[in-house]
Structure 1
Amino acid sequence: MLATSLAPAAHASTGAFTAASTAAPGTVVSVSPLPAPLWLPGTGSAHRVTYVSTDSSGKRALSSGAMFTPKGKAPRGGWPVVSWTHGTVGIGDSCAPSTAGRSERDITYLTTWMARGYAIVSSDYIGLGTPGVHPYLDGRTAAHSAADMVRAARHVDKSLARKWVAIGQSQGGHAALFTAATAPKYAPDLDFRGAVATGPPSNLESIVSLAGPYIPNIPLPDLTAYTAYILAGLRAARPGLNLDRYLTPLGKQVVKDAENLCYDPMVKRTEGIGIGQLLNRSLFDATFFTNLRGIMEVPLTGYTRPFYIGQGMVDTTVPIPLTLKLVAALKARSVNFTFKAYPGADHSGTMAASLPDTTKFVAALFAH
């Protein structure tokens, strides 16, 4: 049953943002029906929700997202919940999936999960469609958004169960790993069972910090776009860092543009621009590295629930050596997780390639 809207849909208003500073995480600020063209196949009801969450510094902030309940009658105890953490779409407000829609890849993938009897909730993440700049790859902020999306969705629709998992790809895979490490303590009122992360970026803080004006122009068209998003996200997450001191005039403009341009336009914006052209000095700097590491470094401890990492062996966006380094570090600490590499799968292809394994993995998480 749909709960009553707790506030008008002016989620980006100053009043709503002020109210968020004192409200509990997961508090619903506004709810409205999701337009039919944005529904997933097999959806019985769908809504867009604006809700309160917490950033990585512990401050309240607004997030938004979409929720999809399957057709039919909920099973006893309610629909088990998949909190989908999406991949890179950009960090401008117009990029938020709950209003901009989703790629065919993501629609096909999420439809597979819904067809198996899961409700799907999906945060846009803090700052993506709500006040402020989205702190891209700030793992704890994204994890909080994912957990609080479940809280908010359960306020809206009482047919959703307490038990949930996080599933994410790319940026969302990074978020899913942070969720696996933090959700039981952050949201003890929910029943978190575990996570699935495909193509999750890791160890990037060490790679990015090696950049400087000496970096040659590498012929990967999206590399500069991703770097600009990382720099813009770092500034949003750590406003006390003087990021401009590391940037050329061109770099300042590109990073500013990254705050507004969605992924495809951002890749076009950075065509022919190398990472080195953005920077006026080396990022191999203690201040820069400490700040970047503080938001991006995937936790190696704190996991109390099982999780799954899927990695494409021909992934050029998140190269497998970075993931293998993460896997080795987790194994050295006796963390309970499953890892599988998929021959022939690129970054996007890992999602479909891993489904026969991950659907069984998640079913087992919900079996008890």
Structure 2
Amino acid sequence: MGRMMRPFVTAKVRSGVSAARAALAGGAAALALGAIHPASAQTALPKTIEEGLKLEAEQALPITPFYTDAAPADAPSWPGGLIRAEKVTDYAIPAGMTAWRILYHSLDAERHDVVTSAFVLLPAGPVPAGGWPTVAWAHGTSGVAQPCAPSLMKDLYYGDEGLFDFPKAGLAVVATDYHGEGTPGAHQYMNKLAQGYDVIYSVAAAHAALPGVLSKQWVADGHSQGGMASWSVGEMEQQMNNPDYLGTVSVSGTVDMLDFIAPKPEEVGAPFYFPMVAYGLKARYPDFDVKTVLTKQGYEHYPLIATKACWFTGYAAYLGKSSAQIMKPNWTKVPAVQAMLKEDIMGEKPVKGPLMVLTGGGDVSVPPGGVKKTAHKACKNGIKLFFHLYPGLDHDPTMINSTQDQIAWIKDRFAGKPFEENCNTL
């Protein structure tokens, strides 16, 4: 990288919904390790479904015809084709920034046409020559139902978890919702192909919506679910051989799916994600029956999560439940699960451009061991990458406290600086 990584060890403390997001460890660690986050953040997490729904409603924007109306007859229908765009004024964004909402064509895991939504954040000030340097952002788990799209949230879900820092630093953000979030249809949760396509084609659609405003060159960046998506983009771009793609940042990525969905006991894990994984399996494999993997307790709140509830409600619905209470024994042996694990393998295919892989040493949602193991595998397969572990940081705090390192690394890519890998340290 050419610079030392700052050894962040504490999370920012915020209030309300943002504090609850920052206390992601509460989703798992509060169950197994006790209250390890500041009280102000810990108390922000919902304890009941009603509290979860209330928190979500406070940030929710209505699903308007923008998301649901049929495409105009003259709209392009190819992947990346723009269906419609609108300037947005109802987001809680820093003064000076400009926001747009776009709707576009993408592909699902089997390359079927799907309609996907996204938002675009532009920095303050005049557009520079060549357009704003562009970051295609892939968000972490927000839920699986249609209302769970970040573009349908006033704070854009990751607003002050680092996302606003990108435009503040002069970087435009193109942020897909992933299809099925915002738009009608099923969200293929935790599928690297589906999420990768949504990220890639959001860039083409944003260029169509805002000609001359965005740079041709771009970088992919993502956290958690999005950390797998951004790494997948690097694989796809290697095959597409896109000369304008400059590299990938993967933060706390679910790049070792088995370690995410069936972690070792000492890794803690976050069982409330499991019903969402079951939903993603159903979306990817329509003949799959979620009751083959979910226990009665596991299925109890599944219909709510599958239709209208998002992350907070999912957390509250399964608060205090272990994976053994939610998932049936040997559920990872189910053929659909095995197919998903095979399709989501990371670290074997070459990636285009430099790759930055970040993880937190205290992450109990996406265990750092699986991330490091995947990075090591990638290095052995000839994939050059820069890896860094932030000691002690949990899942969302890793995103928050690594943002400036991400931005500096991304700016180096746009500046054409040499990439320094450190595979020899893994």
What letter is aligned with 1:120? V
Q: 1:54 to 1:187 in 2, by over 3 A?
A: farther
> What is aligned with 1:33?
87
Give, in whole Å, the separation in 2 of the partners of 1:219 and 1:270: 18
Contact 1:135 1:233 in 2 (8 A): yes
For CA contacts below 8 A with separation 6 or more, give which structure has more relative contact order: 2
Are 1:143 and 2:191 counterparts? Answer: no
Structure 1: 5+ residue runs without aligned partners? 1-7
Q: 1:82 to 1:364 in 2, by over 3 A?
A: same
Q: CA deviation at 1:252?
A: 3.3
> What is aligned with 1:111?
164
User: What is the aligned counterpart of 1:11 among 46, 67, 77?
Assistant: 67
User: What is the aligned counterpart of 2:106 among 53, 63, 68?
Assistant: 53
Q: Map 1:302-317 to 2 at 5 A.
A: 302-317=350-365
User: What is the aligned counterpart of 1:180 among 234, 259, 266?
Assistant: 234
C-alpha distance after superposition, 1:116-137 (max 9, x if no partner): 2211111111110111121111
Number of paired residues? 351
Are 1:332 and 2:386 counterparts? Answer: no
3-state SS of paired residue (1:166): strand
Q: 1:123 to 1:38 in 2, by over 3 A?
A: farther
Are 1:133 and 2:186 counterparts? Answer: yes
Give, in whole Å, the separation in 2 of the partners of 1:41 and 1:169: 25
> What is aligned with 1:257?
304
User: What is the aligned counterpart of 1:201 among 254, 270, 277?
Assistant: 254
C-alpha distance after superposition, 1:145-184 (max 9, x if no partner): 1111111111011111111111111111111111111134
Which range moved further: 67-76 or 192-201? 67-76
Q: 1:93 to 1:284 in 2, by over 3 A?
A: closer
Which range moved further: 78-87 or 111-120? 111-120
3-state SS of paired residue (2:137): strand
User: What is the aligned counterpart of 2:393 among 341, 345, 350?
Assistant: 345
What is the TM-score of this pair, normalised by structure 2? Answer: 0.75
Q: 1:353 to 1:112 in 2, by over 3 A?
A: same
What letter is aligned with 1:30? R
Give, in whole Å, the separation in 2 of the partners of 1:187 and 1:150: 15
C-alpha distance after superposition, 1:249-305 (max 9, x if no partner): 443343333213111111111123332233444224261343221443324212121
Q: 1:253 to 1:296 in 2, by over 3 A?
A: farther
Q: Map 1:75-94 to 2 at 5 A.
A: 75-94=128-147
What letter is aligned with 2:291? D
Q: 1:210 to 1:272 in 2, by over 3 A?
A: closer
Q: CA deviation at 1:352?
A: 3.4
Give, in whole Å, the separation in 1 of the partners of 2:231 and 2:336: 23
Contact 2:252 2:360 in 1 (8 A): yes
Give, in whole Å, the separation in 1 of the partners of 2:271 and 2:78: 38
Are 1:223 and 2:277 counterparts? Answer: no
What letter is aligned with 2:255? S
3-state SS of paired residue (2:395): coil
Give, in whole Å, the separation in 2 of the partners of 1:313 and 1:207: 15
What letter is aligned with 1:236? A
What letter is aligned with 2:68? A
Give, in whole Å, the separation in 1 of the partners of 2:328 and 2:252: 31
Q: 1:207 to 1:68 in 2, by over 3 A?
A: closer
Are 1:74 and 2:127 counterparts? Answer: yes
Contact 2:366 2:395 in 1 (8 A): yes
What letter is aligned with 1:91? V
Q: 1:103 to 1:39 in 2, by over 3 A?
A: closer
Contact 1:52 1:61 in 2 (8 A): yes
Q: CA deviation at 1:55?
A: 0.7
Structure 2: 5+ residue runs without aligned partners? 1-63, 417-426
> What is aligned with 1:5?
none
Structure 1 runs of 4+ off > 4 angstroms? Answer: 17-20
Contact 1:173 1:197 in 2 (8 A): yes
Give, in whole Å, the separation in 1 of the partners of 2:261 and 2:125: 48
3-state SS of paired residue (1:360): helix
Q: CA deviation at 1:334?
A: 1.7
What is the TM-score of this pair, normalised by structure 1? Answer: 0.86
Q: CA deviation at 1:41?
A: 4.3
Q: Sequence identity of aligned pairs in percent? A: 25
User: What is the aligned counterpart of 1:100 among 130, 141, 153?
Assistant: 153
What letter is aligned with 2:231? L
Give, in whole Å, the separation in 2 of the partners of 1:241 and 1:111: 39
> What is aligned with 2:322?
274
Q: 1:277 to 1:334 in 2, by over 3 A?
A: same
> What is aligned with 1:301?
349
What letter is aligned with 1:160? L
C-alpha distance after superposition, 1:4-60 (max 9, x if no partner): xxxx954324x449999x8111111121221243434441x3211111100111101
